[in-house]
Amino acid sequence: MSTVIKGGTVVTADLTYKADVKIEGGTIIAIGPDLSGDETLDATGCYVMPGGIDPHVHLEMPFMGTYSSDNFESGTRAAVAGGTTMVVDFCLPDPGQSLLDALKRWDNKSTLANCDYSFHMAITWWDKQVFEEMETIVKDKGINTFKHFMAYKGALMVNDDEMYASFQRCAELGALPLVHAENGDVVASMQAKLLAEGNDGPEGHAYSRPPEVEGEATNRAIMIADMAGVPLYVVHTSCEQSHEAIRRARQKGMRVYGEPLIQHLTLDESEYFDKDWDHSARRVMSPPFRNKMHQDSLWAGLQAGSLSCVATDHCAFTTDQKRTGIGDFTKIPNGTGGLEDRLPMLWTYGVATGRLTMNEFVAVTSTNIAKILNIYPKKGAILVGSDADIVVWDPAREKTISASNQQSAIDYNVFEGKHVKGLPRFTLSRGKVVVEEATVKTEEGHGKFVAREPFTAVNKALSTWKELVAPRKVERSGIPRSGV
Ligand code: DUC
Ligand code: ZN
Ligand code: ZN
Ligand code: ZN
């Protein structure tokens, strides 16, 4: 059975051209004029683009005393409804837990997926067992990325010695370290002070995580990665301080990647002030939303290429879950949704406003991520042989975002009321039509795990730190005796 996407304009990260796309057995088998097949999808007036890849989601994740409310079924259903055809979730071992045991839990959860997916492995603690298991994770389990939390003190946070050891291990194995860059010690101290002063509302969350804590941690992680001789991926880059550190590193030749979220690009800190408690608490995430200066910095980074991809950090909690933090903002589960809205919001606020070209849109929602994750051109491309993960994008289709008709399992949407123009006409997951007009036709379990090979290019040449050469032992004749 072959399918032809007919009459559309193919848009990739570097080309825009009229062509039909023919699919068979889940892959693209031909691209060109006047193709025919058993089934035809009408793409007249539409752009045929690689499906979105969201490199940062948390589905059914145990976190802050609860579980995020979208699981692999509802989360990937939301993804495809918005044109995203692959997600990367974070496998989070409990401190002390074997990485391989944690992975079994993630393997079980993900059997519900409606589209393809992969995992990042989190390093939440450190000892010889973790060091050894990392090799199995990379060589046998198809995971080439390790996440490090520099915040969430007393829970997920790793210290600098642990991070440096893990980064060096990543360098040996050809893996890429990721960081959640916020100074967890300073955050914990500011949280305690705010609470002691009676500042217990959701605005306290924003006050306790200023851009400086993110900038400091980003700088520190970049320096540590450089000394370890590995590239670095900074998740949810939300502010100029962090972006500045990334820009500077890239200018020096370091491979450092920054990932702004669609939420930080389009929502600002006013969400935490002069709004009712539920409104603000629903928008509590880390890092928090920032002001316009930071938003402009993120848009500029996407335009100039100093920031690489746009994600969601989709980690959805219901209003009831958020309310466990009434009287203590540090207990509000951190996280917001966005999987269904990432592409339409970025198109509306990025492409339609002229901030991004269509090709840049494809680059930052799909192709750049595929390259960084080492799955290009299986994913992130419209090429013969690529997986048929495709979104047929209708620039004339519009809607007002509302929780009342979203796929996510939660009872609100942080983008409620935003009008978007540009939505999928069709979404295809490995050739299967999973969205047609506004109808979602997913098949639970259709999604498959995507294994990712180690990076062969990772080597000591990545470091700009000249001291990596063997230390020279200095021979001295006269050594004073101690105490003299
Ligand atoms: N930030 C969030 O807001 N939620 C999940 C984890 C994170 O770092
Ligand atoms: Zn994070
Ligand atoms: Zn996250
Ligand atoms: Zn299937």
DSSP three-state, residue 160 = helix
For ligand 1, which residues put their CB under 6 angstroms from it? 58, 180, 285-286, 313, 315, 334-335
pTM attached to this predicted model: 0.96
Task: Determine the average pLDDT of the residues in 68-83.
Answer: 98
Residue 21 has pLDDT above 70, yes or no: yes
Q: What is the pLDDT of residue 277?
A: 98
Domain residues for the domain of 152 are 51-380+397-416+447-462
Task: Give the distance (Å) from ligand 3 centre to CA of residue 56.
Answer: 6
Q: Which of 63-67, 239-243, 458-462 is predicted least confidently?
A: 458-462
The answer as to whether 431 is a domain residue is no
> In terms of DSSP bridges, do strands 16-18 and 39-42 run parallel, antiparallel, or are they unpaired?
unpaired
Does the residue 476 lie in any domain?
no
Residue 219 lies in a domain: yes
pLDDT of residue 474: 86
What integer best gives the mean pLDDT of the chain? 96
Nearest CA to ligand 1 atom 5: 335
In a domain, 157, yes or no: yes
* Closest atom of ligand 1 relative to the 284 alpha carbon: 3
pLDDT tens per residue, range 256-283: 999 999 999 999 999 999 899 999 999 9
pLDDT above 70 for 467? no
Average pLDDT over residues 449-472: 72
Q: Band of the pLDDT at 473, cuts 50, 70, 90?
A: confident
pLDDT at residue 468 greater than cutoff 70: no
Contact between residue 284 and residue 293 where contact means Cβ atoms under 8 Å apart: no
> Which ligand is closest to the CA of 155, given by its number?
1
Give the model's confidence band at 428: pLDDT under 50 very low, under 70 low, under 90 confident, else very high: very high
* Å from CA of 308 to ligand 1 middle: 20
Q: Does 461 score more than 60 pLDDT?
A: no
Q: What is the pLDDT of residues 211-223, one digit of tens each?
A: 999 999 999 999 9
Using DSSP bridges, classify how beta strands 39-42 and 2-6 pair: parallel, antiparallel or unpaired.
Answer: parallel
What's the average model confidence in pLDDT over 282-307?
98
Least confident of 168-182, 311-325, 453-467: 453-467
Structure tokens at 58: 């948390």
Residue 478 predicted with pLDDT over 90: no
Tokens of 226: 């450089």
Q: Which atom of ligand 1 is nearest to the CA of 58?
A: 5
Q: Which residue, by CA, sits nearest to atom 2 of ligand 1?
A: 335
Residue 121 has, within 13 A of its CA and on its CB side, a CA count of 33
CATH number assigned to the domain comprising residue 282 = 3.20.20.140
Q: Would you say residue 118 lies in a domain?
A: yes
CA of 484 to the centre of ligand 2 (A): 53
Give the Cα separation of 469 and 420 in Å (integer): 54
The answer to whether residue 484 scores a pLDDT higher than 70 is no
Residue whose Cα lies nearest atom 1 of ligand 1: it is 286
CA angle 334, 337, 339 (to 5 degrees): 140
Does the pLDDT value for residue 464 go beyond 80? no
State how far the Cα of 119 lies from the Cα of 95, in Å rounded to an integer. Answer: 18
pLDDT digits (tens, 9 = 90+) for 126-165: 999 999 999 999 999 999 999 999 999 999 999 999 999 9
DSSP summary character for residue 360: H
The reported pLDDT for the residue numbered 481 is 80
Cα 87–88–91 angle (5° rounding)? 140
Among 60, 187, 236, 312, residue to substitute to test ligand 1 (most atoms within 8 Å of Cβ) = 236
| Mean pLDDT in residue range 243-265 | 96
Q: Which helix (H) or strand (E) holds 2?
A: strand 2-6
- The number of domains in the chain is 1
Protein residue with least CA distance to atom 4, ligand 1:
335
Residue nearest to atom 8 of ligand 1 (CA): 286
Q: How many angstroms does the Cα of residue 315 sit away from the middle of ligand 3? A: 7
For residue 466, pLDDT over 70 is answered with no
**For position 1, what pLDDT does the model report?**
95
